[in-house]
Amino acid sequence: MATLRMPGPSIPTGPPPTYEEVRRRLAALPVDRSENTVRSNLELVHALGSGDNLSALLGEVLADEKLLASIAQRSYPHTNHFDKIVLVDPGTQLGYRLTLHLWNPPYSDAEAEDEQIHDHRFSFWSHVVAGTLTSQNFVRDATGTLFGEYQYIPEKLNSVATVGNFYVNVGDSPLLATDRPRIGSGTSYDLTFDRIHRVILPREDLTCTLVLRGPRQKNYASVFSNSVRYDPTENQMFSTAELAEKLRTVLERC
């Protein structure tokens, strides 16, 4: 279940953390799913995404050409129509990763209609930096609509960059739509790996989230669709210039 926190915990006083301090903090996070860990991680992503912390972090990345280039080499446009910017990735299954997810309209009607229903290989904590994140949740239920179900397995390069996507057809599964929450800017929430949902693409305004991804809890994610043909695909990583432009766009809104 998703846990919402609005407006969230207070932001610690003091100067914003540096990129290296953020990286070290993520490396030291516990890997259990205790109530204390879930709460602490939610407070962490809220703090990192609020106040001057995110703008200082992105400003540091933009000022460091080597760091900017390394982040660009593992960031790409996701098949679900958002830009996935991997700020920190330890390259291990039990490590925590910090990413920006950026939905930047306009989107076509066809893109809006083929948004994939999915779960995840990991639980995560997220802070809405800008815009409003609208999702549609589903449960497996015999009274629901039948969807083709596919197991998604990413292809990794050097344990960090996701360079390709593989899908295995496992038959049809009934899904029943439940609620459609809208999560506004300044709100933090967590989502368990087994929650099935899809993001409703924003049609007018940019939406951006800062995501703290937890340790891997299964080897594949499930995706559901009756319209998309799932063939092996290759991710096209952003150039340094493309990434810099996207980070400046986020900076204007945070």
In this predicted model, what pLDDT tens digit does every residue of 132-146 receive, in sequence order? 999 999 999 999 999
In sign, the C-alpha dihedral spanning 57, 63, 64, 67 is: positive
Distance (Å, whole) CA 166 – CA 230: 8
Distance (Å, whole) CA 118 – CA 66: 34
- We report the CATH number of the domain holding residue 97 as 2.60.120.10
Distance (Å, whole) CA 116 – CA 225: 6
How much is the pLDDT for 115?
A: 80
In this predicted model, what pLDDT tens digit does every residue of 29-38 receive, in sequence order? 999 999 999 9
Q: What is the dihedral of CA 84, 182, 137, 253, to 10 degrees?
A: 0
- Chain mean position to CA 17: 21
Query: Per-residue pLDDT for the chain (254 aa), expressed as one digit of tens each?
Result: 455 544 444 445 579 999 999 999 999 999 999 999 999 999 999 999 998 999 999 999 999 999 999 999 999 999 889 999 999 999 888 899 999 999 999 999 888 877 889 999 999 999 999 999 999 999 999 999 999 999 988 766 666 666 667 889 999 999 999 999 999 999 999 999 999 999 999 999 999 999 999 999 999 999 999 988 777 677 899 999 999 999 999 999 98
**How many structural domains are present in the chain?**
1
Distance (Å, whole) CA 107 – CA 208: 15
How much is the pLDDT for 7?
A: 41
Q: Which domain holds residue 112?
A: 3-251
Global confidence as pTM: 0.92
Give the CA angle between residues 25, 217, 31 to the nearest 5°.
Answer: 30
Beta bridge partners of 208: 102, 130
